[in-house]
Amino acid sequence: MIVTVTPNPSLDRTIELPGPLIPGELQRAAGQSVESGGKGVNVSRALSAAGAGNLAVLPGDPSDPVLVGLAEIQVPFRSLPLGAPLRTNITITDPQGTTTKINEAGPRFGHQLTAALEELILHAAEGASWVVLAGSLPPGVPDDFYARVAGQLRSRYGTQAPRIAVDASGPALAAAVAARPDLIKPNAEELLDLHRRVAGAPARAGAPARAGAPQPAPAELERHPDLVVDLLRDLQPAGVRTALVTLGARGALLIPPAGSADPVLCAYGPPLTARSTVGAGDASLAGYLAAHQAGGTAEDCLRQATAQGRAAASLPGSTMPAPGDLTPSDVVVEAFHPDSERHHHEHHHH
Ligand SMILES: O=P(O)(O)OC[C@@]1(O)O[C@H](CO)[C@@H](O)[C@@H]1O
């Protein structure tokens, strides 16, 4: 069973505009939807849609629309009553595939709530194969929350401890990496940010010091997977093990831990117009975990991750794909070679 943890869930409200977003103007929506969200909640929704056993752990009162929504779609969850509403996050999409997102901070946690959430997670994780620690931390929860939880899970369950995946950003991700999670799933922007934050990490033996060197823009990183691999190698001494790096329309890379004999794998598919990219990374992570849980090879896991991410991007709002939405045979997975890769992508996109 896969346990997902979402300390800062959200009600995701999506507005579909008939044209580009114009700041300062009244615009009328061509469509709208509301879904229970937050990264771990999305991973759970995607796992449930794929028929994979999972349990979502999240704060929220029983009457909160996020929990009511989860119950409606029969995603199993355990929740921690808050006495306060969860946040609402807004997504605005246009027909060109541009997604604008505005996320609230979320309700404030005191020490007691933080401790109660930690205990709920430790309890719910008993017997789990994976625990996914996902999304931002609400105000009041310390940045090292994921690192602490990972440490507690390992000390409490020892050899029976679940594998740990982290899908977060900013300080929560940087602090979590120190606990050596089994898997991280950054996108280009999160990877650059992580590299910036962990720049003080000891450089890998023989590598030129990269700290202070100008960083590429996220879109440039998506076009140059060789740069992604370089950044990852820099981060491994700081605690990064397996990394699933999602590269938007460019596919994804699976980078094994330092010293592994396994090759770096890359995956891509035919061009697609995104309808809403919100939740695509979460769907990718769910695909990876479902395939891993089913005993799949690294190639299977990356193919399933990429197929799920592509399907999620082509669906409105943060809708998670069902098996019928997937076209895994569209996805090419191959060993990554810096030179051939650039050629492939150029070939592919012209
Ligand atoms: O503010 P966070 O916790 O970083 O991200 C929250 C969020 O943007 O992540 C999901 C998409 O990945 C959405 O369901 C949700 O609104």
Question: What is the per-residue pLDDT across 263-321, written as a single tens digit (0 to 9) for each?
Answer: 999 999 998 888 888 899 999 999 999 999 999 999 999 999 999 999 999 988 888 99
Protein residue whose Cα sits closest to atom 5 of ligand 1: 135
In angstroms, what is the span from residue 63 Cα to ligand 1's centroid? 21
Burial 20-56 (b: 16+ CB within 10 A, else e): eeeeeeeeeeeeeeebbbbbbbbbbbbbbbbebebbb
In angstroms, what is the span from residue 3 Cα to ligand 1's centroid? 18
Protein residue whose Cα sits closest to atom 1 of ligand 1: 136
Work out the average pLDDT over 320-324: 92
Share of the chain above pLDDT 70, in %: 92
- The residue ranges of every structural domain in the chain are 1-15+31-167
Task: Tell which atom from ligand 1 comes closest to the C-alpha of 281.
Answer: 12
In angstroms, what is the span from residue 106 Cα to ligand 1's centroid? 11
In angstroms, what is the span from residue 83 Cα to ligand 1's centroid? 22
CB-ligand 1 contact for 8 (6 Å cutoff):
yes
Question: What is the per-residue pLDDT across 67-99, written as a single tens digit (0 to 9) for each?
Answer: 999 999 999 999 999 999 999 999 999 988 788
CATH topology classification for 1-15+31-167: UDP-N-acetylmuramoyl-L-alanine:D-glutamate ligase (3.40.1190)
Is 0.85 exceeded by the ipTM?
A: yes
Q: CA 129, CA 193: separation in Å to the nearest integer?
A: 29
Mutate to test the pocket of ligand 1, among 109, 278, 315, 319 (most ligand atoms within 8 A of CB): 278
Q: CA 18, CA 26: separation in Å to the nearest integer?
A: 12
3 state SS for the chain: CEEEECCCCEEEEEEECCCCCCCCCCCCCCEEEEEEECHHHHHHHHHHHCCCCEEEEEECCCCCHHHHHHHHCCCCEEEECCCCCCEEEEEEECCCCCEEEECCCCCCCCHHHHHHHHHHHHHHCCCCCEEEEECCCCCCCCCCHHHHHHHHHHHHHHHHCCEEEEECCHHHHHHHHCCCCCEECCEHHHHHHHHHHCCCCCCCCCCCCCCCCCCCCHHHHHHCHHHHHHHHHHHHHHCCCEEEEECHHHCEEEECCCCCCCCCEEEECCCCCCCCCCCHHHHHHHHHHHHHHCCCCHHHHHHHHHHHHHHHHCCCCCCCCCHHHCCHHHCEEEECCHHHHHHHHHHHHC
CB-ligand 1 contact for 187 (6 Å cutoff):
no
Q: What is the pLDDT of residue 216?
A: 84
Q: At 199, is the pLDDT very low, low, confident or very high (cuts 50, 70, 90)? A: low
Taking 80 as the threshold, does the pLDDT of residue 103 lie above it?
yes
Are β-strands 252-255 and 242-246 bridged in parallel, bridged antiparallel, or unpaired? Answer: antiparallel
CB-ligand 1 contact for 12 (6 Å cutoff):
yes
Protein residue whose Cα sits closest to atom 6 of ligand 1: 38
CB-ligand 1 contact for 152 (6 Å cutoff):
no
Q: Of residues 174 and 200, which shows the higher confidence score?
A: 174
Instruction: Check: pTM over 0.95? Answer yes or no.
Output: no
In angstroms, what is the span from residue 134 Cα to ligand 1's centroid? 9
Q: What is the pLDDT of residue 277?
A: 85
Q: What is the pLDDT of residue 85?
A: 98
In angstroms, what is the span from residue 39 Cα to ligand 1's centroid? 5
In angstroms, what is the span from residue 265 Cα to ligand 1's centroid? 27
CB-ligand 1 contact for 99 (6 Å cutoff):
no
